[in-house]
């Protein structure tokens, strides 16, 4: 699969669990909004342009902060669910990108090697690709009667973003969706497309709670970057 790589960065969530005011993606990490870190991480991995999906009324705010991003970015309004937000981003992507990445703005520090692994897998012919990491906690699964059983964690993987796709496959997956899914490889799987796993990184952590921002700040200081 050749041609430029384009990205959809979903940033329309409210970020209630992080606390504070305003959308999570505009919260600062080392003096820059999370969404700017996320977009520049994709750019470093070869993404040529991005559509950022945001809550209604915030398009101008996002486009203003993203004026300093390494690649051109346009903002579009998202939907009530992540799935709807991705679909809206997909509908406005520039025509020329056949390799599409979908990334959470809430994962600002994804390393460039992870982005490259995802892109390389799609370029090599995979239709739906996700980075994953092993699960380190022991996990117990609850039953409806509130009893629980341990799960074999050696067979579990935690899913990250950016996920990578052949564009036509992602379009078909979203067109065919009936049930709610929480990521886009699951949408592809629902139409029978095999999912390819590549190695992710703990550094691609999702900023959900205040603790995660502290971890991200600490990570940045080990990279020798700002902060």
Write out the residues near ligand C5P by the rule CB under 6 A. 10-13, 25, 53, 78-82, 85, 104-106, 182
Q: Which is nearer to ligand C5P, 152 or 203 (CB)?
A: 203
Least distance CB 36 / ligand C5P (angstroms) = 14
CB–CB of 108/34 below 8 Å? Answer: yes
Q: Which is nearer to ligand C5P, 53 or 128 (CB)?
A: 53
If the CB atoms of residues 82 and 174 are measured against ligand C5P, the closer one turns out to be 82
Those residues with Cβ within 8 angstroms of residue 173's Cβ, 6 or more apart along the chain or in another chain? 128, 184, 187, 188, 190, 191, 193
Q: Are 125 and 55 in contact (CB under 8 A)?
A: no
Give the residue nearest to ligand C5P (CB). Answer: 13
Smallest distance from ligand C5P to CB 26, Å:
11
* CB 58 to ligand C5P: min, Å: 11
Q: Which residue has the tokens 């992602």?
A: 170
Q: Which of 55, 13, 74 is nearest to 206 (CA)?
A: 13
Nearer to ligand C5P, 9 or 99 (CB): 9
Cα separations (Å) of 199 from 5, 10, 47, 65, 206? 20, 22, 19, 31, 16
* H or E element, residue 8: strand 5-10
For the stretch 83-102, what's the b/e string if a residue is b when 16 or more beta carbons lie within 10 angstroms of its beta carbon? bbbbbbbbeebeeebbbbbb
Specify the residue, 120 or 212, whose C-beta has the smaller distance to ligand C5P: 212
Beta-carbon neighbour count of residue 171 at 10 Å?
Answer: 16
Smallest separation, CB 104 to ligand C5P (Å): 4
User: How far apart are CB 163 and ligand C5P at their closest, in Å?
Assistant: 12
């Amino acid at each position: 699969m050749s041609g430029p790589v384009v990205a959809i960065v979903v940033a329309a969530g409210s970020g209630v669990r992080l606390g504070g005011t305003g959308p999570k993606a505009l919260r600062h990490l080392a003096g820059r909004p999370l969404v700017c870190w996320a977009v520049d991480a994709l750019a470093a991995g070869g993404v040529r342009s991005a559509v950022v999906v945001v809550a209604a009324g915030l398009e101008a705010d996002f486009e203003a902060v993203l004026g300093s991003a390494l690649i051109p970015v346009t903002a579009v309004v998202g939907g009530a669910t992540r799935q709807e937000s991705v679909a809206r981003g997909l509908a406005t992507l520039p025509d020329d990108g056949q390799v599409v990445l979908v990334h959470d703005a809430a994962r600002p520090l994804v390393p460039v090697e992870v982005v490259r692994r995802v892109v390389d897998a799609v370029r090599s012919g995979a239709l739906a690709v996700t980075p994953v990491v092993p699960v380190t906690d022991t996990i117990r699964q609850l039953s409806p009667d509130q009893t629980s059983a341990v799960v074999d964690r050696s067979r579990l993987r935690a899913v990250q973003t950016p996920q990578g796709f052949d564009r036509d496959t992602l379009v078909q997956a979203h067109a065919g969706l009936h049930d709610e899914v929480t990521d886009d490889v699951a949408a592809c799987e629902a139409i029978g497309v095999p999912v390819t796993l590549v190695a992710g990184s703990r550094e691609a952590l999702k900023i959900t709670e205040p603790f995660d921002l502290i971890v991200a700040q600490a990570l940045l200081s080990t990279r020798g970057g700002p902060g």
